[in-house]
Amino acid sequence: MKEIDDLRRELREYNHSYYVLNQPQISDKEFDMKMKKLEQLEAEHPECYDADSPTLKVGSDLQKGFVQVEHRYPMLSLGNTYSEGEVRDWYIKTKKLVGKDFDVVCELKFDGTSISVIYENGRLVRGVTRGDGKVGDDVTRNVAYIQNVPKFLTGDYPVKVEFRGEVLMPWSSFDRLNREREEQQEQLFANPRNAASGTLKLLDSKEVWRRGLQTYIYYTLGEELPLKTHYEQLQKTREWGMNVSSDMKLCHSLEEIMEYIKHWDEARKELPVATDGIVLKVNDFTLQEKLGYTAKNPRWAIAYKFQPEQALTRLEAVTYQVGRTGVVTPVANLEAVLLSGTMVRRATLHNEDFVRALDLHESDMVYVEKGGEIIPKITAVDKSQRDKTAKRIEFIDKCPVCNTKLVRNDEESAWYCPNETGCAPQIRGRMEHFVSRKAMNIDGIGSEIITNMYETGIATSIEALYSLTYNDLRMLDGFADKSARNVLAELAKSREVPYERVLFAIGIRNVGEVIAKKLAARFRSIDELRNATVEEMTEVEDIGEKIARNVIAFFAEPKNISMIETLRQYGLKMKSEEEKVVVSDRLSGMTIVVSGKFEMHSREEYKAMIESNGGKNGSSVSAKTTYILAGSDMGPAKREKAEKLGVKIINENEFAQLLKEKED
């Protein structure tokens, strides 16, 4: 019973990390093996039955803040196998159940996140995630921004039709996104699947479009479908305008199925999107209905998953890199080994906890895989080949560059160097971030030039870039007259960059592009932000206490204040130049506190509506508060204080009515 309980708890945690946090803790194969072990134990011990066991439930991606929609048809997962023998067993068993020969549609198993897309009268009306299989999160707005999802169907489509598919991020988009995140010192996505899932839940739909998601449809549902087989129906689905893979095949025998598996085990490496296996489906809809379902899987389909490509090589050394925010990352330097067509010499070790979990020793023989076939990672150590005298790899306690004692916050897994103003890679990293495209966009100054400037002493800080002269630049290797003049022109042009991008560029820890925009919208000048409290900042959507405290710590550093004042003197924009739009004075004299998560508008949109109608946004509940506009997840402390002070709490509909009454 203890083993069963432990496995259930483990698998629930892994499901949460995979579906909700988009941070898988173990490989798909390890997860599937644990699930099979649990299924075996539960079969042997029926007295331990639990309706909530992971073996009976689909992994859930439901998240707070989204409206949940019930699926008209259950959205189940597929049974998995890594064995061609089990594929044969499934085929033979299915043939016995249907009592005759049958065709199988073989399709590539795309490694994305599941989606249901619904059309009525040919018009896109809803996009819903799989959720827990019974209900899913409504992500219609973001689905509409996926480039190959049509707003309208074409041809002889049914009145109401539902398409099931996978939302994917192509390799090219994934590589670009991770390069951008690396430049901004943000955590990299482990694979395209996690990147696609995280993108689909973004609040900024334009960012969804920019990241270039794609959808591949693999099943069609409806009351009035014109055809009787899955293969023909997918061909018709393509005619209606949906994206259906052209690489599926109608197989008439077990031999054809095995040929398809063998071919794509190699050919998949040339595809523009990630795949992790083959899906086999009984073609005839009548036979599908006859075969039916288990609690979480259809009996008429099975997924064969490819074995991850793995190599064994020797660990030569562990080195450490320091990023612009001071985070120290261990890197495994490996004896070169060929993996998925490329030579692998280095693999990230993430952090100290990861190194400890591997129990890594000097000169260990390690197994290396490519996470999502792109990011090399060490998955295990072959301890049988370990030298008995080998020393355990211990994480360093001082910065490898400036020798400063490393620190680690309780809530973080990373060690970092606190010497922000004296550690060379941090200074260079902040300068590189400052000139990057999404920040100040100073063309002509790249990583190598920053290093050259720093090492020669021409520019050793962000603000020093604006004191550069023509003669300074001509002293740098590779700088001719035209290059020098172009850089000076770019520096001059950067003075017109808006405040929100300047806020992003100065490099406050954990303040990325989106967070900077939200802070700039709420605190309309650098001085207003500098004087903001933790409570005021956490009122802004997606700003938690950790980010707020990082902002306060940044402004508490005298050198940062000096940098800002110098940049201000050089003419950089330190406040928003957009004038507040005044629509009416309907809320004049009212102070309204906005709290919680909303369905009709975002918190920032509501705050803008309050101000544009003459009202004032309150950051905390007091006797001066007129109303609290409350969404879901409103803090209990605010509610308790409101009741104590007699402040009325209104919802979204009541707020809309309030505006209407004032208008009337």
From CA 639, how far away is CA 630, in angstroms rounded?
9
Between 603-612 and 513-522, two packed helices, what is the crossing angle to 10 degrees?
20
Q: Rounded distance, CA 174 to CA 180, Å?
A: 10
CA distances, 632 to each of 261, 554, 585, 600, 602 (Å):
48, 32, 28, 12, 12
Residue 64 is a catalytic residue = no
For 212, the 3-state DSSP assignment is coil
Residue in 109, 236, 305, 607 annotated catalytic: 109
- Quote the radius of gyration of the chain (alpha carbons, Å): 28
Q: How far apart are CA 615 and CA 332, in angstroms?
A: 57
Give me the residue label for tokens 């920040």. 439
Helix (H, G, I), strand (E, B) or coil at 365: strand
- Cβ atoms of residues 91 and 251 within 8 Å: no
Q: How many CB atoms lie under 10 A from the CB of residue 507? A: 24
What are the start-end ranges of the E strands in 203-359? Answer: 214-221, 249-251, 275-282, 301-305, 310-322, 328-339, 342-348
- Exposure letters 606-626 (e unless 16+ CB within 10 A, then b): bbbbbbebbbbbbbebeeebb
Per-position b or e across 563-600, b if 16+ CB within 10 A of its CB: bbebbbeeebbbbbeeeeeeeeebbeebbbbbbbebee
On whether the CB atoms of residues 329 and 342 are closer than 8 A, the answer is no
Q: Which residue has the tokens 């029926």?
A: 46
Cβ atoms 112, 84 nearer than 8 A: no
Cβ atoms < 10 Å from Cβ of 131: 25
- Indicate the residue type of 193: R
Determine how β-strand 80-81 pairs with β-strand 123-129. unpaired
Catalytic residues: 109
